[in-house]
Chains A and B, each alone.
Chain A
Amino acid sequence: MSYQSMEEAQIRCEKEGIAFWKAVQLEDAGERQITEEDSWNVMKQMWRTMLDSLDAYDPELMSRSRMVGREGGLMDAYREKGHTLCGDFMAKVMANALKMGCNNACMKRIVAAPTAGACGVMPAVLVTYFREYDVPEEKMIEALYVAAGIGQIIANRAYLAGASGGCQAEIGSGSGMAASAICHVKGGDTAQIGHACAMALKNLMGLVCDPVGGLVEVPCVKRNVGGAFNAIAAADMALAGIESQIPVDQVIDAMKEVGDKMDVSLRETGFGGVAGSEKAAQIVERMNM
């Protein structure tokens, strides 16, 4: 059985004196009756696919609706001028989040982590850091285990689909996973990994899923930027020693409660939120022509 709570995982880590990522790997190997090495190799494949997917971005390509596609290229060009408000590293994070979101909308091959709509958050945080700071690849693969373990706990206690719990379940969960993962890369312990996730989830709690025309384009592509920035902020807070007053398991439960109460028009039906705006109606009308 996979971990039902961070508390349960943390108890195992303390008892066996292992890191959180290792506890996740051992669970995977045990559950699927494979060796730790086999599990590692699959995870390494996921990491490499993320790198390839990011590199496959084409700034000339646009989605069928023509709403998105160029954003990654525009951000690259702007960053290269050197006048960004958020600094070079964060501008790269932003560009990479946009590129992955555009890749997905343009029907390219991506790693859904945790979902396709939120596929930009993890690579934006992890691949950008990896390339900027020349971290050993092993560390990044460990970080993917951290993210997967966190994602599994969220899936066990709540959900990962926008149609079930709104965007908080997709970009929110992706942000929580990325926060925990980068916290591990920077040397955070299991408690800090939990705090990073809890803070990231809380900051995006209540986020609705309101895709214009039902397409995973607007506002989804740009929300990957929000998720990535939020993840980095949450990880930095956790690494600074700031703690979430509400334990991560209870934050996840709260997210589920909020999702359950969310009106169906705000859960990926394409009716509420910005999808219900006047401009959205015009866009949908244009697309149906």
Chain B
Amino acid sequence: MGSIFDILGPVMVGPSSSHTAGAARIGMVARQLFGRQPQKAAVYLHGSFAATGKGHGTDRALIAGLLGMKPDDMRIPDSFEIAEEEGMAFTIESREIREAHPNTAQIIMEAEGVDVMKIQAYSIGGGRIRVCEIDEIDVNFSGESNTLIIRNLDEPGRIKEVAAALSDAGINIATMQVFRDKRGGHAIMVVETDQIVPQETMDDLAGKDGIIRVKFLLAN
């Protein structure tokens, strides 16, 4: 559950908190998870997002978010043109996603020198969202808290290393979730923290054997 200012708020550009502000936020969180502005983005809209997305500016808001705009940014209606200026190529299509929430978007992001990333997230109203899939692994977080996301090999000792590194940095873990695609395959740890994880700790973790990718989302 988020703060009372997710209920009384956000301050946003209309017309829809779920379809405009939430969409902008999905784009923004996807960009943060990717770590930079994508050079190429493929966006897929499901359910109500697909049926009424155009009228709500869902498409423009998602692209605005990928460009780093917040939901109250008055430039949201012009995001397509801004993407072109900034050299971010994008496509937007409808896609039926099985058992997905009605306000779901999938985003596949590409840029030179980094792995392709696929995010699935949905908008739950009031501008709030849940990220439910990263690179084919099911996850479940909002991005409202400080969130450390680690992709690692599913093998003994990885969780202990992460917990130890956070403990050494004086960081308290608020919640922790662990997901994997298959036994001995790839796993994702989603760790919500009370404090901000310093770059040093992130670098330290990223250098460890069996840890593939380390990302940090600042609470917003």
Contact = CB atoms under 8 A, between A and B. Distances in A.
Asked if A and B are interacting partners, one says yes
Interface of A: 1-2, 24, 27-28, 31-33, 42-43, 46, 49, 63, 65, 103-117, 119, 144-145, 147-149, 151-152, 155-156, 159-164, 169-170, 211, 213-217, 264, 267-271
Contact of A46 (B8, B52, B53): B8
B101 to A, nearest CB: 8
B55 interface: yes
B9 A113 contact: yes
A269 B56 CA distance: 11
Nearest to A34: B3
Given A63-B15, A105-B14, A147-B7, 11 more contacts: A106-B14, A107-B57, A109-B72, A110-B14, A111-B8, A148-B7, A155-B1, A161-B17, A161-B123, A163-B47, A214-B52
A217 B52 CA distance: 13
Contacts of A111: 8-11
A113 B125 CA distance: 11
A120 to B, nearest CB: 11
B48 A267 contact: yes
A117 B17 contact: yes
Given A46-B5, A115-B125, A169-B125, A264 B102 contact: yes
A159 B124 contact: yes
A163 B45 CA distance: 14
Interface string B185-220: 000000000100000000000000000000000000
Given A112-B17, A115-B17, A116-B14, A148 B8 contact: yes
Nearest to A151: B7
Main secondary structure of the interface of B (DSSP, over half): mixed
Contacts, number: 160
B62 interface: no
Interface in B133-192: none
Contact of B3 (A28, A65, A117, A145): A28
Given A46-B9, A115-B17, A152 B1 contact: yes
Given A161-B18, A270-B51, A112 B3 contact: no
A155 B7 contact: yes
A107 B14 contact: yes
Contact of B51 (A63, A107, A149, A271): A271
The 6 closest A-B pairs by CB, nearest first: A214-B52, A161-B125, A104-B14, A151-B7, A148-B4, A216-B15
A116 B8 contact: no
Given A107-B14, A152-B4, A216-B14, A112 B56 contact: no
B11 A49 contact: yes
Interface of B: 1, 3-18, 20-21, 47-48, 51-57, 72, 74, 76-77, 102-103, 123-127, 194
A116 B15 contact: yes
B8 A151 contact: yes
24 contacts: A2-B4, A46-B8, A107-B76, A108-B14, A109-B14, A111-B9, A112-B9, A113-B7, A114-B7, A114-B8, A116-B12, A117-B16, A145-B4, A148-B4, A156-B1, A161-B18, A161-B126, A163-B47, A163-B48, A163-B102, A214-B51, A214-B54, A268-B48, A270-B51
Nearest to A153: B7
A161 B124 contact: yes
Contact of B52 (A42, A113, A144, A268): A268
A65 B57 CA distance: 13
Nearest to A33: B194
Contacts of B6: 155
A160 B8 contact: no
Contact of B126 (A46, A112, A214): A112
A30 B191 CA distance: 21
Nearest to A216: B15
A185 to B, nearest CB: 16
Given A107-B57, A109-B72, A155-B126, A117 B15 contact: yes
